[in-house]
Homo-oligomer: A and B are copies of this chain.
Amino acid sequence: MNEFSPVAELAETIFDLPTPALLLDRRKLETNAQRMRSRVQQLGVALRPHVKTSKSIDVLQVLAGADGVPITVSTLAEARYFFANGVRDILYAVGIAPVKLPQVAVLIRAGCALRLILDSIDAADAVQAFASAEGLTIEALIEVDTDGRRAGVAPDDDLLTEVARRLGPGLAGVMTHAGGSYSGRTLSEFEEIAERERAGAVTAAGRLRDAGFPAGIVSVGSTPTVHYARTLDGVTEARAGVYAFGDLVQAQLGTCGVGDIAISVLTSIIGHNRAHGRVLVDAGFLALSRDRGTADFPVDWGYGAVCDAATGEPIEGVRVESTNQEHGIITALEGELDFSRFPIGDRVTILPNHACATAAAYDRYFVTQGDGRVSGVWDRVNGW
């Protein structure tokens, strides 16, 4: 059960909203969406947005443009929700757990072109045995490991063809995700990581084809690698998710500017602790998330960047230093905090370190056009 204040639905401006609340600036979303569409067009590949960031059909409609797009999901709850909202071509990009196969079958039988990913003989056997017993074809991509960060079969591992053989008619191609793209810091590092992702996936697909297996889909991506790739030759589709909203980590990776970040948490000033130089707000770690993604970057934003609620412009010299469950603590980076900037009851907005983590605490977006008016309420799907 996810509850939200009944008053919130009636809000005309963000200043009528009970706090904390998640705001979405539609103009910034549209700009981010357009930039990515241009980018993949330039690279000559299809776009398959990862909806794990927004989990919202309304957001997807902005991302997809007029023609609609296939999508990537991170949960079967997302798959059910987007399929119920008219999306048919869905890649579930987390290694399949056999206990979920009955839910997969329900979606496929209902007409969803749902594809799975896996990287082991045991998972391939489980999928194939289940599909045979159910009289279904269940398609899967083999996950390829191109940076040693998480999962996947190495492009040159003999396991690749063995998994393909076990999958039989279900083999649809390969996919990889350069999670390591978040560790890049220079242009040449980003380009190298993107090229390794591309080359690994293309090599794996080539080995499968050489061995007589079909590998129609060659899927790569992360927001940084799609942003920095010099070429995606041999790739058929790019996956990216967080570009829709951007965040403080992405801004330091150079894939967006701080001014492009489309979501923020609206919060109220609830206290002054003058003895310790702290302003308290009612957005704690549930509202902001515990994500400290910028801790490893040149600018450490703490738990988020504090902005003027009316203009969305960052307030210089402060950050959210720490959080408790429903308290955020704003401090000055150096020197004295100017308490007059933060009267009790005033609102500020907080830009997130990591958009996916912060948005996950909310079941709706209050949509703005950057003018303070609430122009819509968009839902999102959480859970599993």
Contacts and interface: CB of A to CB of B under 8 A. Distances in A.
A266 B327 CA distance: 29
Contacts of A327: 94, 150-151
A356 B81 CA distance: 27
A96 interface: yes
B3 A81 contact: yes
A59 to B, nearest CB: 13
Interface stretch (A18-26, A184-192, A193-201, A254-262): A18-26
Contact of A96 (B15, B270, B324): B270
A308 interface: no
A19 B383 contact: no
A122 interface: yes
Contacts of A16: 99
Contact of A282 (B20, B95, B126): B95
Contacts of A329: 150
A97 B345 contact: yes
Contact of A382 (B1, B81, B344, B347): B1
- Chain B CB count within 10 A is highest, among A123, A145, A268, A382, for A382
Interface in A369-384: 379-384
Interface stretch (A34-42, A62-70, A71-79): A71-79
Contacts of A272: 120
A217 interface: no
A52 interface: yes
Contact of A343 (B81, B119, B122): B122
Given A2-B363, A384-B4, A179 B52 contact: no
Given A95-B280, A270-B97, A380-B1, A126 B344 contact: yes
Contacts of A154: 275
A27 to B, nearest CB: 25
A380 B382 CA distance: 14
Contact of A289 (B287, B290, B292): B290
Interface string A209-253: 000000000000000000000000000000000000000000000
A360 interface: yes
Interface string A340-373: 0001110100000000110011111000000000
Query: How many subunits of this chain does the assembly comprise?
Result: 2
Which residue, A100, A271, A292, has most C-beta atoms of chain B within 10 A?
A271
A48 interface: no
Interface residues of A, number: 81
A126 B7 contact: no
A166 interface: no
Contacts of A282: 94-95, 97
Contacts of A132: none
A56 to B, nearest CB: 9
B77 A3 contact: yes
A296 B380 CA distance: 35
A361 B360 contact: yes
A181 to B, nearest CB: 13
B151 A94 contact: no
A17 interface: yes
B362 A383 contact: yes
A326 B5 contact: no
Most-contacted residue by chain B among A269, A343, A384 (CB, 10 A): A384
Contacts of A364: 1
Nearest to A120: B344
A290 B282 CA distance: 19
10 contacts: A52-B326, A74-B325, A94-B282, A99-B345, A120-B271, A150-B327, A151-B327, A152-B273, A325-B357, A361-B382
